[in-house]
């Protein structure tokens, strides 16, 4: 009677991966829908994951000298139009404010889809001398892109992100910055989110509107599809010229600064779900799990059990994010609930455990069970959390290894992509036509030209002309 309704099973991932994803997003209480089409509500548990990712990134940004700022939500149409490639890329997918109160605006304002133009206008006010450089700014905010079809985290009209925008004295410094930030994204993905990524450069077709070069980290989801997990762009001085940003250089000449931008968004939560989740629900990497260890009292009405549970919580809260669930729900219900929510470790404590001065710890990822003496918890818990992290990373890496093939010609390419997902390594001549043909024939796009190149063949997988680089091809979210 006092029970909340049982956590109902979710669709199996092998049966219907898309439905499995939607079930997790809902049952793990990450997101709710509203009457605002295409926008999601980040519920407390989902937002807490995002806050932990934010903290991790923000600390790394600050350690590398970046400062946060707050830019306006709106961009006047004339400002958006200043850089030609940029406006062509974004204008078709922005939301337009045309009325303020009861009055029609003389100029439409778009709701920012990204803020290069706003940062550039500001930079034109504050950059005058090489002494003002570099400017290393970042902003945490939400942006809006008018998407037709949406899915929570993966593609929503509004999403939360950070956007770094920097200006440098030289092209070399700017390029170094794009690499530095891409490395930070890769570090966070691999060492905090347990997601292995491939670092590389986007082809011209896939690069950011207005950029000279876009760098990316690409992750493989459990179903073999790719998810672009963070990007870093080098702009050269194109925006600087369009926005008339100049500085007096060390040689006393007037120069244009060199620009970068880089971003990671709530999309990464979709990557966490699809990399680590299983048929029992979400599986969270310990570093960003809002609850790292949940304490479940067993036979909690037996005198002393709840006291012990809260005593352990008090003790362990110094080293992990810990919660006791002392609700009236049964232990079985609670086990299922925290498995659904992906809590890395479950600590069970009951009268029998107390007699032996031990507890039971169960890993979310492998369901392995450990009997741990209570006095060892301070050393065992961090070890087990690390083991979960490492296990998740290895499992994801193995999945990627298993689902990565290579192809030397179109026959192999078609075989590698027909009715299946995965990464295919293949050589490319550099021509847009071949990229388009691979999309048409095999349904794949170029994910990136990895920094770590391999020589799969001498010739383009598509046209047979001399190859310029190896590309990772795949279907993508």
Residues in contact with its own copies by CB under 8 A are 4, 32, 34-36, 39-44, 46-48, 50-51, 67-76, 78-79, 92-102, 108-109, 111, 118, 121-122, 125-126, 131, 137, 141-142, 144, 146, 158, 160
Contact between 288 and 52 under an 8 Å Cβ cutoff? The reply is yes
The Cα-based distances of 437 to 59, 433, 443 in angstroms read 43, 6, 9
Neighbour-count burial for 258-274, b at 16+ CB within 10 Å, e otherwise: bbbbbbbbbbbbbbbbb
Cβ of residue 107: shortest distance to its own copies, in angstroms?
9
CB closer to its own copies out of 2 and 254: 2
Q: Which structure tokens are listed for 468? A: 């310029």
Cβ of residue 442: shortest distance to its own copies, in angstroms?
29
Cβ of residue 252: shortest distance to its own copies, in angstroms?
11
Q: Comparing C-alpha atoms, which of 66, 56, 50, 256 is closest to residue 180?
A: 66
Cβ of residue 266: shortest distance to its own copies, in angstroms?
8
Cβ of residue 393: shortest distance to its own copies, in angstroms?
28
CB closer to its own copies out of 139 and 259: 139
Cβ of residue 464: shortest distance to its own copies, in angstroms?
40
The Cα-based distances of 315 to 361, 375, 404 in angstroms read 16, 11, 45
Contact between 181 and 66 under an 8 Å Cβ cutoff? The reply is no
Q: Could you give the angle at the alpha carbon of 208 between the alpha carbons of 202 and 210, nearest 5°?
A: 125
Q: Around Cβ 440, how many Cβ atoms within 10 Å?
A: 9
Helix (H) or strand (E) holding 140: strand 135-144
CB closer to its own copies out of 119 and 473: 119
CB closer to its own copies out of 12 and 78: 78
Q: Which structure tokens are listed for 217? A: 């980290």
Q: Which structure tokens are listed for 425? A: 């390594």
The Cα-based distances of 435 to 404, 432, 455 in angstroms read 19, 5, 19
Q: Under 8 Å CB-to-CB from 133, ≥6 apart: which residues?
A: 127, 167, 168, 169, 247, 257
The β-bridge relationship of strands 345-349 and 293-297 is: parallel
Q: Which structure tokens are listed for 346? A: 């479950």
Size (the chain), residues: 477
CB closer to its own copies out of 73 and 463: 73
Cis amide bond preceding 134, omega within 30: yes
Tell me the backbone φ, ψ of residue 401, rounded to 5 degrees. -60, -45
Cβ of residue 131: shortest distance to its own copies, in angstroms?
7
Contact between 358 and 376 under an 8 Å Cβ cutoff? The reply is no
Q: Comparing C-alpha atoms, which of 200, 148, 186, 167 is closest to residue 37?
A: 148
Cβ of residue 100: shortest distance to its own copies, in angstroms?
4
CB closer to its own copies out of 17 and 262: 262
CB closer to its own copies out of 154 and 377: 154
Cβ of residue 147: shortest distance to its own copies, in angstroms?
9
CB closer to its own copies out of 272 and 434: 272
The rounded distance, in Å, linking the Cα atoms of 167 and 67 is 13
Cβ of residue 103: shortest distance to its own copies, in angstroms?
8
Cβ of residue 93: shortest distance to its own copies, in angstroms?
5
Q: Which structure tokens are listed for 131? A: 């002494």
Q: Under 8 Å CB-to-CB from 38, ≥6 apart: which residues?
A: 147, 150, 156, 157, 158
CB closer to its own copies out of 110 and 388: 110
CB closer to its own copies out of 340 and 424: 340
Cβ of residue 152: shortest distance to its own copies, in angstroms?
12
CB closer to its own copies out of 62 and 468: 62
CB closer to its own copies out of 51 and 279: 51
The 3-state DSSP class for residue 329 equals coil
């Amino acid at each position: 009677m006092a029970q909340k309704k049982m956590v109902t099973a979710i669709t199996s991932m092998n049966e219907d991966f898309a439905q499995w994803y939607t079930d997790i997003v809902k049952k793990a209480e990450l997101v709710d829908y509203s009457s605002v089409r295409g926008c999601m509500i980040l519920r407390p548990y989902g937002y807490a994951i995002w806050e932990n990712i934010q903290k991790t990134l923000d600390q790394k940004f600050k350690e590398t000298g970046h400062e946060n700022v707050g830019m306006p939500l709106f961009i006047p149409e004339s400002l958006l139009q200043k850089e030609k490639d940029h406006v062509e890329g974004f204008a078709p997918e922005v939301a337009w404010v045309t009325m303020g109160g009861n009055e029609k605006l003389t100029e439409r304002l778009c709701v920012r889809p990204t803020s290069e133009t706003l940062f550039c206008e500001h930079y034109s006010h504050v950059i005058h001398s090489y002494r003002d450089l570099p400017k290393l700014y970042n902003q945490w905010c939400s942006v809006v892109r008018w998407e037709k079809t949406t899915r929570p985290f993966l593609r929503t009209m509004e999403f939360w992100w950070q956007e770094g925008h920097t200006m440098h004295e030289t092209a070399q410094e700017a390029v170094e910055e794009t690499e530095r930030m891409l490395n930070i994204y890769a570090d966070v993905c691999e060492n905090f989110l347990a997601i292995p990524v491939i670092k590389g450069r986007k082809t011209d077709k896939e690069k950011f509107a207005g950029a000279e070069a876009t760098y990316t980290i690409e992750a493989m989801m459990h179903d073999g599809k790719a998810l672009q997990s963070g990007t870093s762009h080098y702009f050269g001085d194109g925006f600087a010229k369009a926005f008339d940003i100049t500085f007096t250089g060390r040689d006393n000449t007037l120069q244009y600064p060199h620009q970068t931008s880089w971003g990671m968004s709530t999309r990464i939560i979709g990557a966490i779900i699809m990399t680590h989740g299983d048929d029992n629900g979400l599986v969270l990497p310990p570093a960003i799990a809002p609850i790292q260890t949940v304490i479940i009292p067993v036979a909690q009405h037996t005198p002393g059990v709840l006291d012990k549970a809260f005593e352990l919580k008090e003790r362990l809260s110094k080293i992990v994010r810990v919660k006791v669930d002392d609700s009236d729900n049964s232990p079985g219900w609670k086990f299922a609930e925290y498995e659904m929510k992906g809590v890395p470790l479950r600590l069970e404590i009951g009268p029998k455990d107390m007699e032996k001065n031990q507890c039971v710890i169960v890993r979310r990822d492998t369901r392995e069970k450990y009997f741990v003496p209570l006095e060892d918890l301070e050393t065992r818990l961090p070890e087990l959390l690390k083991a979960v992290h490492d296990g998740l990373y290895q499992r994801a890496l193995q999945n990627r290894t298993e689902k990565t093939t290579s192809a030397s010609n179109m026959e192999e390419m078609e075989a590698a992509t027909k009715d299946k997902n995965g990464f295919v390594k293949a050589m490319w001549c550099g021509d847009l036509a071949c990229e388009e043909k691979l999309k048409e024939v095999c349904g794949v796009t170029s994910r990136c030209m990895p920094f770590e190149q391999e020589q799969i063949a001498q010739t383009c997988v598509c046209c047979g002309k001399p190859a310029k680089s190896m590309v990772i091809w795949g279907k993508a979210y």
